[in-house]
Homo-oligomer: A and B are copies of this chain.
């Protein structure tokens, strides 16, 4: 596969990404992607055998970009509390964007694709995020920004709350206020006094 093909493959993945954001995972057919990409039926099969393969590629791209974004925000000379707040604000924004998110598609995808590959991406993302939060809290504690007895437990707890908010946003719906309340609750648990928001 030459360089040109790499370009096209990337184009397909990016186009498919939009389709997945709109329709989730299961509902999307090869035909949908063919039409979105405006290529021929057979053309798509030159690059991918099925929607799962395409979606995996979408996830891979996604997680790369996610890493980049994270390291960008950390580079700045912000305090731990600042960074945590930024992170939570980012999550909130993501949460409330019901459409234009891969959340639903990702959940659907992992519903029907068993363990072995699973660990690769979604779990990896979860674990690495948990670890980063843990580090942040530790730094915050050292700097006297936070108070916390069980940094690891707290970090994990935050992650599960975020997951809970994410899935709730997609199923029962959730208001910005509800998210704010959870964020406040998290901060209070770290001994941060809430001035405004």
Contact = CB atoms under 8 A, between A and B. Distances in A.
Given A111-B171, A156-B185, A163-B165, 20 more contacts: A24-B111, A26-B27, A107-B107, A108-B111, A110-B170, A118-B171, A122-B171, A122-B172, A123-B173, A150-B185, A150-B188, A153-B184, A156-B182, A157-B185, A160-B164, A160-B182, A163-B163, A163-B167, A164-B165, A164-B167
Contacts of A26: 26-27, 108
Among A173, A184, A189, residue most surrounded by chain B Cβ atoms (within 10 Å)? A173
Nearest to A123: B172
Given A126-B168, A126-B172, A164-B163, A111 B115 contact: no
A150 to B, nearest CB: 7
Contacts of A153: 181, 184-185, 188
Interface in A56-103: none
Interface in A1-59: 24, 26-27
Copies of this chain present: 4
A118 B157 contact: no
Interface residues of A, number: 42
A119 interface: yes
Nearest to A105: B111
A170 B24 CA distance: 17
Main secondary structure of the interface of A (DSSP, over half): helix
B115 A173 contact: yes
Nearest to A178: B156
A168 B160 contact: yes
A146 to B, nearest CB: 16
Contacts of A185: 150, 153-154, 156-157
